[in-house]
Structure 1
Amino acid sequence: MFIVTVTFEVSPPQLQAFRDAMQTQAKNSLELEAECHQFDVCYDSVDSAKCFLYEKYADRAAFDKHLASDHFKQFDLTVGPWIVSKSVQTWIQESA
């Protein structure tokens, strides 16, 4: 499996709009992308402006399809101005 983790810091005045957009993005990714197996959205327990994503895809190609999807492109355009910082890391999950 191909794992993607993303950490966002969101501009506080835009936090609720970001949360709403992120909820839609997670739902769309799971419903519209057969090779997206998990899309968890977490918020810091102390600083609600910090968001962490844990996404699981069948492989790198599936993640690339995610990035090329219309719903991702729209999400990225919408939330881009609200993001203070963003860090993306990718991982390979080995079978047990």
Structure 2
Amino acid sequence: MPYAVIAHYRCAARDAALIREALLTMREHTLREPGNLAYEVHAEDGAGQPAFILYEQYTDRAAFDAHAASEHFAEHILGTVRPRLTQRDVLFGEVLT
């Protein structure tokens, strides 16, 4: 069953460009993963501080787990994005068909 991730990230203004770049780089890598169906990066409109929304979809939970164990996830998300966030909320769920 398809598996989805919706992430909401907030950061300081000084980190917004770096995080944006890292998320767009992640999109390039993730779209090449065999189990990825979608990876969309959005800038939140009207947020008080810079904010991003991610929508990701994978063929199943195992494909997401492989994504989370990838080198590019470690480098760009764990190494660049997460340390600079002021808030991080993530929802996980199965896609109803």
TM-score (norm 1): 0.92
CA–CA distance in structure 2, aligned partners of residues 34 and 7 of structure 1: 24
Q: Aligned pair count? A: 94
Structure 1 outlier segments of 4+, above 3 Å = none
Q: How far is 1:54 from its partner?
A: 0.5
Matched with 2:39 is 39
Mark the runs of 5 or more structure 1 residues left unpaired by the alignment. none
Equivalent position SS for 1:55: strand
Correspondence 1:1-96 to 2 at 5 A = 1-31=2-32, 33-47=33-47, 49-75=50-76, 76-95=78-97
Q: How far is 1:23 from its partner?
A: 0.4
The letter of the residue matching 2:40 is D
Q: How far is 1:80 from its partner?
A: 2.2
Percent of aligned positions that are identical: 28
Equivalent position SS for 1:34: coil
Q: CA RMSD in A?
A: 1.0
Deviation sequence 1:16-62 (CA, Å, 0-9, x none)? 0111111000110002x111110011111112611100000000000
TM-score (norm 2): 0.91
